[in-house]
């Protein structure tokens, strides 16, 4: 730790920075935990999917306080979450009803509380489509105005999606697992799987392959998925074998020392899984490298190594694992998750190669998803923002502190936040979630 960094985190430094307007970041609620206060449910226009989903989640719902425009409205006590079923909202004047629900709730929501709006994907006439987009603007703004680690999320529920299809998504958002996901919007389509409740260990009996599992985010993914019941195949390059073995032993999984850029990487993974008489439920393409330089200094080697590890290797491995003839390949109903990045979404100085690879991952999942719906295989990506890891710990202190705070939650995320989002995506009950890129970035100021 540098002298500057020590001074900054000393009691004196903290007092000075508080005076200067720097807020002490909130401690986020994490894990499979529910909001402490009551969950308030409101419906605009008579939609019922929200109510039915909360019932499947086994969460009692209270009635909302509505701002009638006269007296300053109040709940009197903190609320844990507000869930607004806006699936029947298609007119501009209905947005006023949303405002009247949000105003008291934003004031009353607890630390790490939740504002969740359920809406439809844009469809219908001009006004309806416009309103669908307006909800996005509201969600992103509410997320910025919320305090103490509370978050806002907009989930678009396809018209024929059932409450069962929505269970894993609403459960994820309300629980502490979504701690660092805010201001985001994604879609839940019909999954065709009967879901009755939220599973505690949804990955029981499922094999999950995690690349780059020896440390940082990869190790957190292995731990989190093992907690959710997965049998983890931890993959990393041979030189990282010692840490890899420690992770595999900790989670009771197996270690596979492998360079994912090898031509036979996919076959080696499949053979490892087939040997154990299993097939793969999910593969998490977490392995990635950076070779940062300004574009004017980026040579072919820096370019190709990043694109090969971060993008091309995934394509090659997916191709082998998706071949139905591959023993130990990806089972129908399986999951593929890639790791995109805010750098790929917003661009980042000195990272043309990295941004290319990470935006490429986002492009890949949106391209693959529709082609694999018939086999029940979902393909998604998470896009981490600033995550506290050994790698980001090497960024010079002042710059790191800036990155850390350049988001709505005033702090960096933890590896487990990325891992939890992946756990949600590969949950067998998240069948209707595919082709999505979910940012785990605390609503970073950059990007969409």
Partner 1 sequence: MTHSAVVVGGNRTPFAKAGGPFAEASNHDLLTSALDGLVARYGLAGQRIGEVAAGAVLKHSRDFNLTREAVLSSPLSPATPACDLQQACGTGLETTIYIANKIRLGQIDSGIAGGVDSTSDAPIVVSDPLRRTLLKANAARSTKDRIAPFARVRPRHLKPQAPSVAEPRTGLSMGEHQALTTERWGITRDEQDEIAAASHHKLAAAWEDGFFDDLVTPYMGVARDAILRPDTTIEKLAALRPAFGGPDGTMTAGNSTALSDGAATALLANEDWAREHHLPVLARFVDAEVAAVDHPGGDDLLLGPIAAAGRLLARQGLTLDDFALIEIHEAFASTVATTLKAWDDEDYCRSLGLDSKLGTIDRAKLNVTGSSLAAGHPFAATGARIVPTLAKLLQQKGPGSKGLISMCAAGGQGVVAILEAV
Q: Which of 9, 75, 180, 354 is catalytic?
A: 354
Q: Beta-strand (E) ranges in 265-344? A: 280-285, 330-339
Q: Give the closest residue to 227 by CA, choosing from 26, 437, 30, 24.
A: 30
| Residues paired with 283 in a beta bridge | 209, 336
Instruction: Take residue 344 and report the two structure tokens written for it.
Output: 């790929």
Q: Which is nearer to partner 1, 254 or 351 (CB)?
A: 254
Token reading at 274: 């087939």
Q: For partner 1, what does the binding mask look like between residues 136 and 175, x meaning CB under 8 A?
A: ----------------------------------------
Q: Is 305 in the site for partner 1 (CB under 8 A)?
A: no
Closest separation between CB of residue 248 and partner 1, Å?
4
φ, ψ of residue 61 in degrees (nearest 5): -120, 140
Which of the stretches 273-281, 344-352, 383-391, 433-441 binds partner 1 when contact is defined by CB under 8 A? Answer: 273-281
Query: Would you count residue 209 as binding partner 1 (CB under 8 A)?
Result: no
Phi, psi (rounded to 5 degrees) for 270: -60, -40
Selected binder of partner 1 within 121, 190, 229, 241 (CB under 8 A): 241
User: Order of strands, edge to edge, in the sheet holding 151-157?
Assistant: 61-62, 39-43, 79-85, 109-119, 151-157, 184-188
In degrees and rounded to multiples of 5, residue 241 shows phi and psi of: -60, -35
Of 95-103, 122-130, 249-257, 285-293, which part binds partner 1 (CB under 8 A)?
A: 249-257
Is position 259 an interface residue for partner 1 (rule: CB under 8 A)? yes
Question: Of the listed pieces 10-18, 140-148, 233-241, 427-435, which binds partner 1 according to CB under 8 A?
Answer: 233-241
Q: Are strands 231-236 and 151-157 parallel, antiparallel or unpaired?
A: unpaired
Given the rule CB under 8 A, which of 106-114, 241-249, 280-288, 391-399 is the region that contacts partner 1?
Answer: 241-249
180 assigned to active site = no
What does residue 279 show for φ and ψ, rounded to 5 degrees? -125, 170
In the bound state with partner 1, the residue whose beta carbon lies nearer, of 256 and 377, is: 256
> Quick one: which segment of 66-74, 111-119, 257-265, 440-448 binds partner 1 (CB under 8 A)?
257-265
The yes or no reply on residue 262 touching partner 1 (CB under 8 A) is: yes
The nearer residue to partner 1, 11 or 252, going by C-beta atoms, is 252
In the list 27, 275, 319, 393, the residue contacting partner 1 (rule: CB under 8 A) is 275
CA distance 379 to 123: 24
Applying CB under 8 A, does 263 fall inside the site for partner 1?
no
Give the span between the Cα atoms of 153 and 365, in whole angstroms: 21
Count residues contacting partner 1 (CB under 8 A)? 26
At its nearest, how many Å lie between partner 1 and the CB of residue 323?
Answer: 22
Q: Does 242 bind partner 1 (CB under 8 A)?
A: yes
Instruction: Please check whether residue 108 is in contact with residue 77, taking contact to mean a CB–CB distance below 8 angstroms.
Output: yes
> For 249-389, where are the E strands, in sequence order?
254-257, 280-285, 330-339, 378-384
Structure token digits, residue 448: 């969409």
69 near partner 1, judged by CB under 8 A: no
Q: Is the Cβ–Cβ distance between 178 and 151 less than 8 Å?
A: yes
Q: Is 390 in the site for partner 1 (CB under 8 A)?
A: no
Asked if 248 interacts with partner 1 (CB under 8 A), we say: yes
Q: Which of 254, 352, 421, 443 binds partner 1 (CB under 8 A)?
A: 254
What are the residues whose beta carbons fall under 8 Å from the beta carbon of 294, sequence distance 6 or more? 349, 350
What is the contact surface with partner 1 in residues (CB under 8 A)? 231, 234, 238-242, 244-246, 248-250, 252-259, 262, 275-278
Active site residues per annotation: 354
């Amino acid at each position: 730790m540098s002298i500057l960094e020590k001074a900054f985190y000393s009691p004196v430094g903290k007092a000075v920075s508080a005076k200067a307007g720097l807020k002490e970041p909130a401690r986020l609620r994490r894990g499979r935990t529910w909001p402490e206060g009551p969950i308030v449910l409101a419906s605009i226009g008579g939609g019922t999917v929200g109510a039915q989903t909360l019932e499947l989640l086994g969460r009692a719902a209270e009635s909302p306080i509505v701002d009638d425009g006269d007296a300053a409205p109040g709940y009197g006590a903190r609320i844990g979450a507000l869930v607004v079923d806006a699936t029947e909202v298609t007119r501009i004047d209905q947005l006023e009803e949303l405002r009247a629900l949000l105003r008291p709730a934003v004031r009353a929501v607890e630390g790490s509380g939740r504002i969740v709006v359920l809406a439809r994907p844009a469809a219908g006439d001009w006004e309806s489509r416009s309103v669908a987009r307006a909800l996005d603007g509201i969600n992103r703004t509410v997320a910025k105005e919320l305090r103490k680690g509370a978050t806002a999320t907009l989930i678009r529920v396809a018209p024929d999606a059932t409450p069962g299809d929505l269970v894993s998504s609403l459960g994820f958002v309300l629980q502490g697992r979504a701690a660092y996901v805010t201001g985001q919007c994604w879609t839940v389509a019909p999954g065709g799987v009967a879901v009755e409740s939220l599973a505690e260990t949804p990955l029981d009996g499922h094999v999950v392959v995690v690349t780059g599992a020896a440390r940082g985010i990869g190790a957190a993914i292995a731990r989190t998925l093992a907690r959710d019941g997965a049998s983890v195949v931890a993959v990393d390059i041979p030189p990282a074998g010692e840490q890899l073995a420690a992770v595999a032993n900790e989670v009771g999984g197996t270690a596979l020392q492998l360079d994912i850029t090898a031509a036979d990487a996919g076959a080696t993974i499949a053979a490892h899984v087939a040997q154990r008489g299993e097939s793969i439920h999910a593969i998490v393409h977490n392995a990635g490298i950076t070779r940062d330089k300004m574009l004017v200094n980026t040579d072919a080697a820096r370019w190709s190594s990043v694109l090969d590890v971060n993008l091309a290797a995934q394509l090659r491995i997916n191709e082998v694992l998706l071949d139905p003839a591959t023993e130990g390949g990806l089972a129908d109903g399986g999951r593929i998750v890639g790791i995109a990045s805010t750098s790929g979404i917003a661009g980042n100085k000195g990272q043309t190669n990295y941004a290319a690879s990470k935006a490429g991952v986002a492009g890949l999942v949106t391209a693959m998803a529709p082609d694999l719906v018939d086999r029940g295989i979902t393909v998604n990506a998470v896009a981490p923002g600033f995550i506290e890891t050994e790698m980001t710990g090497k960024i010079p202190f002042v710059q790191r502190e800036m990155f850390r705070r350049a988001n709505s939650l005033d702090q960096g995320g933890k590896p487990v936040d990325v891992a939890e989002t992946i756990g949600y995506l590969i949950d067998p009950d998240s069948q209707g979630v595919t082709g999505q890129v979910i940012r785990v970035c605390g609503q970073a100021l950059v990007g969409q």
